[in-house]
Amino acid sequence: MSHNRKIFFLSLLTAAFGLMSAATSAQSKLSIDKVYSAYLRNSGTISNQGQIKGYFFLYQSDKIDKHTNEYTLQILDENLNKVRSIKFQDSKKLNLLESSYNGNSLSFLFKNEDEKTLDMKIYDMDGKLKNTYSRGYDKKTDALMKQYETMHTDEGMNKNVFDIGNQGYVSVLPMRDGKQRTYEVDYYSSEAKKQWTYVPSDDAEKYAFAEYLGATDSLIILEVLKKNHALSGNVTTHLVGINFVTKKKQFDIDYAADNYKLMPTYVAPLEGTGNVLVIGPYYDKDDNVGKDFSKGLAIYEMTTAGKFVNKTYNSWTEDFSKYLATNRKGKIDDVGFLYIHKVIRTPDHKMFIVGEGYKRQANAGGIALSVLAGGNVGVTKIVVTDMVMMEFDAKYKVKAATIYDKTNNTAMAGVASDYNSQHTLAIYLKMIGAFDYDFTTGEADNSNFAVCYSDYERSSDYKGQTFNAIRYNGSKFTTDKIPLKSKASTLKVFPAKAGSVMILEYFKKDKRLDFRLEKLG
């Protein structure tokens, strides 16, 4: 008996007929499925505080008139049960960008290309529309947004819409005004009809790129990279806190007075202290974060007013080299440089940081072509290497590091790989989805978590793609692997509820999608 839930695109329609599907007995005879079909437009996960709580599927269920379609938004819970089916009419050019859940409402961010609006629709748990917030975007912004949409994020994880607890949602939007690049932060209340936009009016810089790092009960915290003009290599890094109660910027830290510059990649409230933990690679004060090598990993404790009360540095050359063979540039033997994907803190005050290696290698083909053609052919290539799990003690000092081997994966080859800096390369690799890290799934308190990544295996038993997990059960790490070869035309693995993954199999011949949840071992 197969117990996996199956979703057929026509299930809404054909369910009423039970076993008997309409069929034709002659060419002139028509059946329901020949007259009507629904199309899946978008699908994705519904998350709450980083935990997967469900899935959405947006179908185009009808054409109403020349400009309008009917859509059906089907919502599944974390166990793949149908929760709600919401029908609405909207523009033909509608895309559902992301969804989020904050415990008492569901938010969906739509992009309406006809009206050039971003529409945030907030539904209550009965599927009733509570509020719609609309904001316009122009052509230039759209181009930037499209680029933003195609950028890779960890599979199935939100990149634009985030829940900030019971109060509502926030989205961070890249903007372009002439040659100036900037960003805006939209706040959407789920309690009452209330929306406001934070525009960074006090930034003199022409180029600012913002990334959402996290939130407290009153703060939205962003990492903002700024530079004066497009060609400037002098990138400054800022930690910006926006108070969503006062609607004002609470702090903007540029580390000018510090010995080191921090490039924050993770923030989270520190339970019981009211402070916030800020983690990321650090650089010498005069270094250019766009070009120079990082010194190591810094872990700061910060008040919500933006004051640092504790700073801990783990340098590649002194601290990490005890556990990993590291040179003075922070390059680890065989692994290369580390890109930090995830920071995980456990209830017993341990902290783990997940990194993935990348390094520049001689490109044999490129060298040969370069010699033969004498032309502009890259002589190096960038390869993505192994996963590295680092453990830190309660004082934020590194106490262990383990390398998890995987097959080296050529991420890019060409002239660009010859000249770009370590950090620029990492950002580019992340943007194009070249890293093998997929996502981390686990209990809400991280007492049990699994770091998931893709690999390619070539062995006598198996040759092909694999989905892998490094699981921590509260006391030790184990590994797990799912071979991705199956009878299905396509097999993909998506994040799911704590400790599980959702395996999606598409059977082209049967036009069938199977979903099932599997626990990682």
Partner 1 sequence: MPRPSGAPYAPFILVFFLFACLSVQSQVKDFSPAAQDDPFLTSLSEKYLRQYKENLDRLPSKNKKDLVEAYQHRWENIKEKFDKKEIYTSKAAQGYLDRLAGAIRQANPSLANVTLSCYFSRSDIPNASYIGEGIILFNMGLFERLDNESQAVFVLCHEMAHFLLRHSENSINQYVASINSEEVQAELRRIQRSEYQKHAQVQSLVKGLTFDSRRHSRDHEAQADSMAVQLMRNTRFALSGALSTLALLDVIDVDTLNTAVCLPAMFNATEYPFRKKWVARNEGLLGGHTEMRDTAMADSLKTHPDCQKRTALLVNLMKGWSQPGAVKYALDSANFASLKGIFRYETIEYAFLADNYTRSLFLTLELLQAKPGDPYLVAQIGRLFNGMYAAQKGHTLSKVTDLPSPGYPANYNLLLQFIQHLYLEDISSINYYYLKQHHPQMDGYSPFKNAFEQSEKLMKN
* CA 86/CA 128 separation, integer angstroms: 8
* Residue pair 367/373 in contact by the 8 Å Cβ criterion: no
Radius of gyration for the alpha carbons in the chain, expressed in angstroms and rounded: 24
* Binding map of partner 1 across residues 424-463, x = CB under 8 A, - = no contact: ------------------------x---------------
Q: Residue 167: how many CB atoms within 10 A of its CB?
A: 19
Using the minimum distance from each CB to partner 1, give the nearer residue, 23 or 199: 23
The per-residue DSSP string of 152-178 comes to --STT--SSEEEBTBTEEEEEEEEEET
Phi, then psi, of 193 in degrees rounded to 5: -75, 95
Q: How many chain residues bind partner 1 (CB under 8 A)?
A: 60
CB of 81 to partner 1, least distance (A): 5
Q: Which stretch binds partner 1 (CB under 8 A): 258-266, 355-363, 452-460, 496-504?
A: 496-504
- The conformation of residue 323, written as its DSSP 8-state character, comes to T
Q: Residue 339: how many CB atoms within 10 A of its CB?
A: 24
State yes or no: residue 2 binds partner 1 (CB under 8 A).
yes
- The conformation of residue 376, written as its DSSP 8-state character, comes to S
Using the minimum distance from each CB to partner 1, give the nearer residue, 45 or 275: 45
The DSSP element (H or E) to which 372 belongs, if any, is: helix 364-373
Using the minimum distance from each CB to partner 1, give the nearer residue, 70 or 334: 70
State yes or no: residue 518 binds partner 1 (CB under 8 A).
yes
* Binding map of partner 1 across residues 82-111, x = CB under 8 A, - = no contact: xx-----------------x-x--x-----
Q: Which stretch binds partner 1 (CB under 8 A): 30-38, 164-172, 304-312, 317-325?
A: 30-38
* Residue pair 187/207 in contact by the 8 Å Cβ criterion: no
State yes or no: residue 70 binds partner 1 (CB under 8 A).
yes
* CA 57/CA 41 separation, integer angstroms: 8
Q: Which stretch binds partner 1 (CB under 8 A): 184-192, 314-322, 404-412, 510-518?
A: 510-518
State yes or no: residue 4 binds partner 1 (CB under 8 A).
yes
* CA 387/CA 352 separation, integer angstroms: 13
CB of 22 to partner 1, least distance (A): 5
State yes or no: residue 1 binds partner 1 (CB under 8 A).
yes
* Residue pair 8/513 in contact by the 8 Å Cβ criterion: yes
- Binder to partner 1 among 6, 11, 23, 138 (CB under 8 A)? 23
The DSSP element (H or E) to which 239 belongs, if any, is: strand 236-243
Handedness of CA 417, 423, 424, 430 (dihedral sign): positive
State yes or no: residue 67 binds partner 1 (CB under 8 A).
no
Interacting residues with partner 1 between 120 and 139 (CB under 8 A): 125
- Binder to partner 1 among 6, 11, 40, 64 (CB under 8 A)? 64
* Residue pair 342/439 in contact by the 8 Å Cβ criterion: no
State yes or no: residue 50 binds partner 1 (CB under 8 A).
no
Residues in the chain: 521
Q: Which stretch binds partner 1 (CB under 8 A): 195-203, 344-352, 395-403, 498-506?
A: 498-506
- Binder to partner 1 among 45, 61, 189, 195 (CB under 8 A)? 61
Using the minimum distance from each CB to partner 1, give the nearer residue, 70 or 142: 70
432: its two tokens: 């194009």
* CA 113/CA 42 separation, integer angstroms: 15
Using the minimum distance from each CB to partner 1, give the nearer residue, 101 or 251: 101
- Distance between alpha carbon 225 and the CA centroid of its chain, in Å? 18
Query: Which residues here bind partner 1, judged by CB under 8 A?
Result: 1-5, 13, 16-26, 28-32, 34-36, 38, 46, 53-54, 61-65, 70, 75, 77-83, 101, 103, 106, 125, 448, 473, 482, 497-500, 503, 516-519, 521
